[in-house]
Amino acid sequence: MKKIILAVTVLCLGVTTWAQVDSTSKEKTDTIKLEKADTIKIGGVIIIRKDGDNDANKKSVIISNKKKANSIISTNWWIIDIGFTNYDDNTNYASAATQSFAPGMTKDNFKLRNGNSVNVNIWLFMQRLRIVKGINLKYGLGVELNNYHYDDERVHFQENPTIVMLDSNYKDLNKNKLAADYFTVPLMLNFNLTPDRKNGFGFSVGVSGGYRYASRQKIKDDDKSKLKDDFDLSSWKVSYIGELNLGPVRLYGSYALKSMWEKGLDQTPYAIGIRLSYL
> Could you tell me the residue range of the domain that residue 46 belongs to?
33-71
Q: What is the pLDDT of residue 2?
A: 47
Give me the phi and psi of 11, to 5 degrees please: -65, -45
Which of 21, 53, 71 marks a domain boundary? 71
Domain count, the chain: 2
Assess if residue 2 is contained within a domain. no
3-state DSSP call for residue 223? coil
Among residues 82, 99, 193, 221, the alpha carbon closest in space to that of 144 is found at 82
Which of 25, 53, 71 marks a domain boundary? 71
Ordered DSSP codes for 144-196? EEEEEEBSSTTEEEETTTTEEEE-GGGTT-SEEEEEEEEEEEEEEEEEES-TT
> Do 50 and 63 share a structural domain?
yes
Portion of the chain with pLDDT greater than 70, in percent: 75
Chain centre distance of CA 14: 74
Q: What is the pLDDT of residue 30?
A: 47
Quick: pLDDT tens for 202-245.
999 999 999 999 999 999 987 889 999 999 999 999 999 999 99
